[in-house]
Structure 1
Amino acid sequence: MSTSTPRAVPTRVPAAERGSTRIADRVVAKIAAQAAREALVAEADGAAPPHATVTVHHDIARVRVSLELPYPSDVAAQSAAVRRRVAERVEECASMTVPEVAVEVEHLHPAHIRPAAAGRDRRLR
């Protein structure tokens, strides 16, 4: 009969102490741009999609979003909606604190030409 010594059971290391996850700035920027797109009430025809740049330090992300809006529109309300949505989505998806979302409106695009004006013939005769 052989005597065996009990095997040592390895101690489990808590998940938070096993390593770290780093999310690239460009990934956070894509999350922010998509969130800005979701927040816009209406996109202007011919407008470029929102673009975001991000600076991440530890788990704090500072975001700058550039966008184009239709004219006329409530620029202040749309900017506030973009700020809220971007902060929520980055915190939710990347687990980062977002103390600042700067919104830069680059262009205002006029609405479609009205149907009555579109039918006018402007050629010189």
Structure 2
Amino acid sequence: MSTTEPRATPPRVAAAERGSTLIADRVVAKIAAQAAREALDAPSGAPPHATVTVHHDIARVRVSLELGYPSDVAAQCAAVRARVAQRVEECAQMSVPEVDIEVEHLHSAHTRTAAGRDRRLR
């Protein structure tokens, strides 16, 4: 007969010393683009697109979007900045010191052509 000795329990390692989690830039960009969509009440034109550069736990975000015209462009951009920073910090646990907004096009209900397509204002 063999006796089984109880296994020794390995010592617990603190959570901070177990390793790290890396979140790809493209994942953070998807979070940012979705947050920009959420910030814009009525989507106009193409959905927002985001690019992100991550260095350690700091994300620098650039969002390209199309807005309706006439509207308060500055207020919409401020809402997008705030929402993107908040969601990236919540979901990815990253600091977001800056969110650059690029308004690529303005769409107006008055610029619709007979074919139903938008004529883009520049």
The normalised TM-score by structure 1 is 0.81
Report if aligned partners of 1:29, 1:52 keep a CA contact under 8 Å in 2: yes
- 1:37 paired to 2:49: no
- What's the Cα RMSD here? 2.2
Letter of the 1:24 partner, please give it: A
% identical aligned pairs: 82
- 2: CA distance, partners of 1:8 / 1:16: 23
Alignment partner, residue 122 of structure 1: none
- 1: CA distance, partners of 2:35 / 2:58: 17
Give the C-alpha shift of residue 41 in structure 1.
2.2
- 2: CA distance, partners of 1:9 / 1:26: 40
Give the C-alpha shift of residue 98 in structure 1.
0.2
- 1: CA distance, partners of 2:49 / 2:5: 63
Distance 1:13 1:75, change over 3 A: same
Letter of the 1:40 partner, please give it: L
- 1: CA distance, partners of 2:111 / 2:96: 40
- 1: CA distance, partners of 2:7 / 2:78: 61
Q: What secondary structure is seen at the aligned counterpart in 2 of 1:89?
A: helix
- Number of residue-to-residue matches in the alignment: 112
Alignment partner, residue 96 of structure 2: 98
Max Rg structure: 1
Alignment partner, residue 10 of structure 1: 10
Unaligned runs of 5+ in 1: 119-125
Q: What secondary structure is seen at the aligned counterpart in 1 of 2:74?
A: helix
